[in-house]
Amino acid sequence: MSERMKVSSNPHIRSKVTTNGIMLAVVIALMPATGFGIYNFGVRALAVILVTVASTVLTEFLFGLYKKKATVSDLSAVVTGLLLALNLPATIPLWMAALGGVFAILTVKMLFGGLGQNFMNPALAARCFLLISFPTAMTAFECDAYTGATPLAALKAGEQVNVMDMVMGHTAGTIGETSVIALVAGACFLLALGVIDLRIPGSYIVTFVLFAGIFGGRGFDPAYLSAQLAGGGLMLGAFFMATDYVTRPITIKGQYVFGIFLGIMTGIFRIFGPGAEGVSYAIVLGNLLVPLIERVTKPVAFGYQRGGKRA
Amino acid sequence: MAKFTFVGGIHPYDGKDLSKDKPIRDILPEGEVVYPLSQHIGAPAKAIVKKGDRVLAGQKIAEGGGFVSAPIYASVSGTVKAVEPRRVVTGDMVMSIIIDNDKKYEAVAFSPKAPLEDMCREDIIDCIREAGIVGMGGAGFPTHVKLCPKEPDQIDYVIANCAECEPYLTSDYRRMLEEPEKLVGGLKILLLLFQNAHGILAVEDNKPDCIELLRKLTKEEPRISVKALKTKYPQGAERQLIYASTGRRINSSMLPADVGCVVNNVDTVVAVYRAVAQGRPLIERIVTVTGDAVAKPQNFRVPIGTSYRELIEAAGGFKVPPEKVVCGGPMMGFAMFDLNVPTTKTSTALLAFTKDEVSAMEPGPCINCGRCVEVCPGRVIPSRLADCAEHFDEEAFLENNGMECCECGCCSFVCPAKRPLTQEIKSMRKIQLAKRKK
């Protein structure tokens, strides 16, 4: 026997899709929103993005050194850092942004076992952490271009809002959430690549629209509903945060349930809550329910009927 | 009603162009020929020859060891060199009959037992059992057992599995193109056994020429239809095939006969035809030798027992040294560490790859992406089952329908973290199956 051959269990071929590839696709998909955020809010936004990404990547790197297991190359820390930055106002003090990055990676992700083990979306958990710890800094949306409230807050106060500006993104808000066009362009890229599908964003958005229409007090008024849709973190949340693999149900039916739950919770927070926003809390809350949702939506194996009987 | 496909599945690079246009070529073994006594599911066959005996091609050398078993025939003439354990494809040592090939290829005279019209059901099944026919799609379940369900009148469909959904394989394709009348003839014989059944030739729609040819041949046959199934792996898996062609579903603890179906692979049906209509035992089969490391990929008609090494040599040897050699398809085949093992009744292909995609990538942590759930034809959660298997949590494994896995390999194929999901689940299933037997 001269040949030396490799032996392994079947199958002997593998698809080209890798974890790195998926993470890279998400980063690319976030680029339009990131670019628009910098254009909209200026250099200050760029600084926040750089500091946040640097702090997540560095935290992951240092933790890897401590655990003697390098995981930073899987790009997941870049995705977390970028998503967190897009969820911060451009005026936030840089040290707070850095602290958020450390919290996202160290507390939410690494201490629970690293990639794939966290039960909450790290970026959103960090946003909520900052929102609770520094409420003023986190809601200070005044910057050079815009003064005053976000469109959603204005809407809640009963003021008129310009929906066209909201779709384009020329409004106050966090760095990445304002431009619907940029976010949808990125989402289309991910949909086309098959990285995400419409189950969660679709059921989320449809449920939310129905909820806002029924309980919003303005009926199915198109202007009101489109402002609700385009405002706040809904687009960013529905396409980029709720679809986070690790913290959404893995079962197909469970994903619909998850989306519907998020839609209802977002509606409750936005319409009946004290603030105008609700996406972050809805998703973080939804994350906590995932094990339960997965349990009740366990798929029926081929050749069985629900309840374990044969088909 | 039939859906012509199933939920889940994958579309890997099919690689069939390498060998699909190469006509079947006969090859004769040069060296010794080895017949493992266990090349089917069930009791091993019992050798009825001993060292020094002279045998002819087509002579029975081992008798079936029980009802679920099959006899074995010599495929060449020569003298019995030994009856001893030899290594087989899976790596096990199996008691085998070794024949020193005299290269005269003298065969016994074959003749049908009786004209088909005069045969009753028992005669036909007897013929099939005597010919040593087993499921040639890979499992190797003795065909006569499949053909004896409790109530033959309750069988509604006899399905010929012509899907050939494994990438790279073209042996069934060539068989259908070159000997379609034998396939149809075999199916007609099977229909004699099941008076109320309809015959289905289930072909994947990436073989339009086969579909057209078979449709033309069965135009006058009211009891046979050709179904074009969607091209998707694992369309040819028994449970998926039954669902795609009849809309009926079975789970792992049921037999096709429970929903009125009998499924046989193309080569098995052809072997039935040869056994019943021509009196020929099963001594040869078609094997595809292909892959990017093979000099001249092609399809061979191989006397069973020929060493895989001779097949590679007949295909011009290796163009470049292969990193991995697989017996069978790339999705469900066995990786080989030694080419000096014999072909058996269930051999379908020999693949040689210059690069091994499995060892090229290090497995990472599961990111819960759900791709395995989407593609799983068994409708289970492979990533979770693999976790249960890894932690040896038997209870959770069974509760999550671990036994419904058909080991098709789709989950490992799509996993972006490159986790060996199929392997984990497979080893746990083996343990559970062994426990059940106790």
Residue B196 lies in a domain: yes
Q: Nearest C-alpha of chain B: how many angstroms from A2?
A: 10
pLDDT at B2: 44
Q: Nearest C-alpha of chain B: how many angstroms from A132?
A: 29
* C-alpha to C-alpha distances, A222 to A225, A227, B235, nearest whole angstrom: 5, 8, 47
Mark whether B273 and B164 lie in a shared domain.
yes
Which residue in B401, B410, B425 has the most chain A C-beta atoms within 10 A of its own C-beta, making it the best mutation to test that interface? B401
Q: Nearest C-alpha of chain B: how many angstroms from A6?
A: 5
Residue B378, pLDDT > 90, answer yes
pLDDT at B315: 94
Q: Which two tokens stand for residue A204?
A: 């989320």
CA–CA gap between residue B283 and residue B34 (Å, rounded): 12
Nearest Cα residue in chain B from A196: B369
Nearest Cα residue in chain B from A248: B368
pLDDT at A143: 57
B204: confidence class by pLDDT, cuts 50, 70, 90: very high
Q: Nearest C-alpha of chain A: how many angstroms from B62?
A: 31
Residue B405, pLDDT > 80, answer yes
Q: pLDDT 10s digit of each residue in chain A, 311 long?
A: 456 788 899 899 999 999 999 999 999 999 999 999 999 999 999 999 999 999 999 999 999 999 888 888 899 999 999 999 999 999 999 999 999 999 999 999 999 999 999 999 999 999 999 999 998 888 887 655 566 678 888 888 888 888 888 888 888 889 999 899 999 999 999 999 999 999 999 999 999 999 999 998 888 888 899 999 998 899 999 999 999 999 999 999 999 999 999 999 999 999 998 877 889 999 999 999 999 999 999 999 998 876 555 44
Listed range (A170-174, B223-227, B294-298) with the worst mean pLDDT: A170-174
Contact A13 B325 (CB under 8 A): no
Nearest Cα residue in chain A from B243: A303
Which residue in B357, B384, B390 has the most chain A C-beta atoms within 10 A of its own C-beta, making it the best mutation to test that interface? B357
Residue whose token pair is 């046989």: B264
Residue B402 lies in a domain: yes
pLDDT at A144: 55
pLDDT at B1: 37
Per DSSP, the residues of A55-107 read HHHHHHHHHHHHHT---GGGSHHHHHHHHHHHTS-TTS-HHHHHHHHHIIIII
Contact A303 B416 (CB under 8 A): no
Q: Which helix (H) or strand (E) holds A184?
A: helix A180-193
Number of domains in chain B: 2
Residue B289 lies in a domain: no
- What pLDDT, in 10s, does the model give residues B45-88? 999 999 999 999 999 999 998 889 999 999 999 999 999 999 99
Q: Which helix (H) or strand (E) holds A293?
A: helix A279-296
Domain that holds residue B273: 115-278
Residue B384 lies in a domain: yes
Strand partners, B336: B325
Contact A116 B381 (CB under 8 A): no
Domain boundary among B258, B278, B298: B278
Mark whether B243 and B389 lie in a shared domain.
no
Nearest Cα residue in chain A from B379: A301
Mean pLDDT of all residues in B243-263: 92
Contact B381 A1 (CB under 8 A): no
CATH of the domain at B171: 3.40.50.11540
Q: Nearest C-alpha of chain A: how many angstroms from B398?
A: 12
- What pLDDT, in 10s, does the model give residues B151-198? 889 999 999 999 999 999 999 999 999 999 999 999 999 999 999 999
Contact B12 A6 (CB under 8 A): no
Contact A13 B414 (CB under 8 A): no
Which residue in A13, A80, A109, A295 has the most chain B C-beta atoms within 10 A of its own C-beta, making it the best mutation to test that interface? A13
Q: At what angle do helices B171-178 and B180-193 cross, to 10 degrees?
A: 90
Contact B331 A22 (CB under 8 A): no
pLDDT at B288: 96
Q: Nearest C-alpha of chain B: how many angstroms from A308?
A: 10
Contact A13 B167 (CB under 8 A): yes
Residue B194 lies in a domain: yes
B3: confidence class by pLDDT, cuts 50, 70, 90: low
Chains A and B form CB pairs within 8 A to the count of 171
On average, the pLDDT of chain B sits at: 92
Residue B12, pLDDT > 80, answer yes
Mean pLDDT of all residues in B364-391: 94
- Chain A residues in contact with B368 by the CB 8 A cut-off are 116, 245-246, 248, 250
In this predicted complex, what is the ipTM? 0.90
Domains of chain A: which residue ranges?
Answer: 19-295
